[in-house]
């Protein structure tokens, strides 16, 4: 069965520094997608970044990058130049296999709570 | 703004009652996914609809049901509510990335 593991329940980072949030996954599929979401205290789920299993380059979106190591089954999120507004829960997710014509649902890790210190 | 809308934002009700949560996907998206986020279970997939048809089921209780209408909006019906059903309910839609609506926070008293 597919599984996402986030081993860091909480992390602290100093403002303006970079931080890496860990995510490992388990799947027997060759084709899959990996996602990161941010959930601030207000509760909404904000899509950050996506990596397809066949993408050769690591995905980047502004200050977010995904360090994809396929052989190690890891998909760590790197946030550069942390800002106070980055304080939130971060969830790693994997898409389950597609059902003919539509994309599969996501399975989520338990999340990492990031706190940015001024 | 993800483009996915959900109503209501908050819902407070009593045990045994029935409620309906509504979701409109992003323009052009045919799929709607429902998720439940609770403190003890985390984020769990409930059910997916694609162009009006049920496509996949997750950990959805028999007391819960959903449907997707011809205009592609979806409703999640929760009946015989229990205290443990208190949670944040999200819907999402996507061609590839899954964009989430703002969620409905359900409190069962």
Structure confidence by residue, pLDDT tens digits, B41-57: 899 999 999 999 999 99
Smallest CA–CA distance, residue A110 to chain B, in Å, is 6
pLDDT over 80 at A98, yes or no:
no
Predicted confidence at residue A22, as pLDDT, reads 98
Q: Which of B59, B91, B97 to mutate to test the interface with A (most CBs of A within 10 A)?
A: B97
B38/A contact by beta carbon, under 8 A: no
∠ CA B75-A98-B67 to the nearest 5 degrees? 15
Q: Which of A45, A99, A102 sits opposite B90 (nearest CB)?
A: A45
Predicted confidence at residue B2, as pLDDT, reads 86
Print pLDDT tens along chain B (109 aa).
889 999 999 999 999 999 999 999 999 999 999 999 998 889 999 999 999 999 999 989 999 999 999 999 999 999 999 999 999 999 999 877 789 999 999 999 9
Q: Which of A99, A106, A110 sits opposite B98 (nearest CB)?
A: A106
> Which tokens go with B31?
């799929």
Smallest CA–CA distance, residue A97 to chain B, in Å, is 11
CA A102 to chain centre: 22
Q: Which of B45, B55, B97 sits opposite A35 (nearest CB)?
A: B97
pLDDT above 70 covers a percentage of chain A that reads 96
Burial (0-12, 13-18, 19+ Cβ within 10 Å), B42: middle
Which chain B residues are within 8 Å of A91, Cβ to Cβ? 43
Q: For residues A77 and A18, is the Cβ–Cβ distance under 8 A?
A: no
Name the band, by pLDDT with cuts 50, 70 and 90, for residue A3. Answer: very high
A 69-108 residues inside an 8 A Cβ radius of B: 91, 93, 95-96, 99, 101-108
Region A23-31: mean pLDDT is 92
Average pLDDT, chain A: 94
Name the band, by pLDDT with cuts 50, 70 and 90, for residue A49. Answer: very high
* Alpha-carbon torsion, ordered B39, B41, B43, B46, to 10 deg: -130
């Amino acid at each position: 069965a597919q599984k996402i593991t986030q081993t860091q329940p909480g992390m602290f980072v100093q403002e303006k520094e970079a931080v890496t949030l860990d995510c490992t996954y388990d799947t027997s599929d060759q084709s899959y997608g990996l996602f990161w979401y941010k959930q601030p205290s207000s509760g909404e789920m904000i899509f950050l970044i996506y990596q397809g299993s066949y993408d050769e380059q690591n995905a980047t979106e502004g200050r977010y990058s995904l360090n994809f190591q396929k052989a190690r089954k890891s998909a760590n999120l790197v946030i550069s130049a942390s800002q106070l507004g980055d304080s939130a829960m971060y969830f790693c997710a994997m898409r389950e296999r597609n059902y003919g014509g539509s994309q599969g649902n996501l399975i989520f890790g338990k999340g990492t709570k990031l706190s940015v210190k001024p | 703004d993800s483009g996915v809308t959900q109503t209501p934002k908050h819902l407070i009700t009593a045990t045994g009652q029935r409620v309906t949560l509504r979701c409109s996907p992003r323009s052009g998206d045919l799929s709607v996914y429902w998720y439940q986020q609770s403190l003890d279970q985390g984020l769990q997939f409930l059910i997916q609809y694609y162009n009006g048809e049920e496509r996949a089921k997750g950990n959805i209780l028999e007391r819960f049901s959903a449907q997707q209408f011809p205009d592609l909006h979806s409703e999640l019906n929760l009946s015989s509510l229990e205290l443990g059903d208190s949670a944040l309910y999200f819907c999402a839609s996507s061609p590839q990335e899954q964009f989430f609506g703002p969620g409905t926070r359900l409190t069962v008293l």
